Amino acid sequence: MPRLVLASQSPARLATLKSAGLNPHVVVSGVDEDKVLADAADRFGELDPADAVLVLAQAKAEEVASRLEEIRDDDEAGGRDTATATDVIVIGCDSMLEIDGTIVGKPADPETARECWRSMRGGKGVLHTGHWVVDLRDDADGGTGGTIGSTSSTTVWFADIDDDEIDAYVATGEPLQVAGAFTIDGLGGPYVERVEGDHHGVVGISLPLLRELLAELNVPWRTLRTP
């Protein structure tokens, strides 16, 4: 059974994978997101949100994969039993909410979160989540050496809540911790009226899309479920 490494500190992503029967190890990436996006803009021009999240997901997955490979190489060079398994799959993700062509990231402070919700309420946005998978498995473990990714985009309709409701939600602190200043699987769930697309993508990791990416690397989903 391949071992999954999730290159994300998101509790929601980890919980989603665990609820689907997977038990990934978490290794948080150390990438500078602003620099990654600036470098990509210099190379490719201005990125749309769907491309931006994919670039960030790739950077996170490949940075963690590189670190794991270095550890394994150092252990092998020193004649030690490798601390990093040879059957590892690394998954990186990143999410952004787009409203009328504008990106809504993590609010910097409560007032910014309140402004976000005043602009969002009664309307809709598109939650883009980029996914990137890196196959670090050895040939003997069926490794392909592949690196592949794609973006899940889900339209979200928000309830038309009043200022008091916004203030109470922002006071919980949750909107300051997540892209778009809301969750669908937490305290923000009552304020999401409906979605069009994969709701897992709104949580931060699309299980159907991830299954398809893993299949491209010859990793059937069933082989990842823990007994």
Catalytic residue selected from 32, 51, 74, 94: 94
Tell me the Cα Rg of the chain: 19
Task: Tell me, yes or no, if 94 is annotated catalytic.
Answer: yes
CA distances from 43 to 93, 144, 151, 225 (A): 21, 28, 20, 39
User: How far is the C-alpha of 164 from the C-alpha of 90, rounded, in Å?
Assistant: 42
**DSSP assignment letter at 80:** P
What's the CA dihedral at 193, 197, 199, 201 to 10 degrees?
A: -130
Place of tokens 């949750």: 174
CA 78 to chain CA mean position, Å: 35
Q: Which residues contact 213 (CB under 8 A, 6 or more apart)?
A: 131, 133, 148, 149, 150
Residues with catalytic function? 94
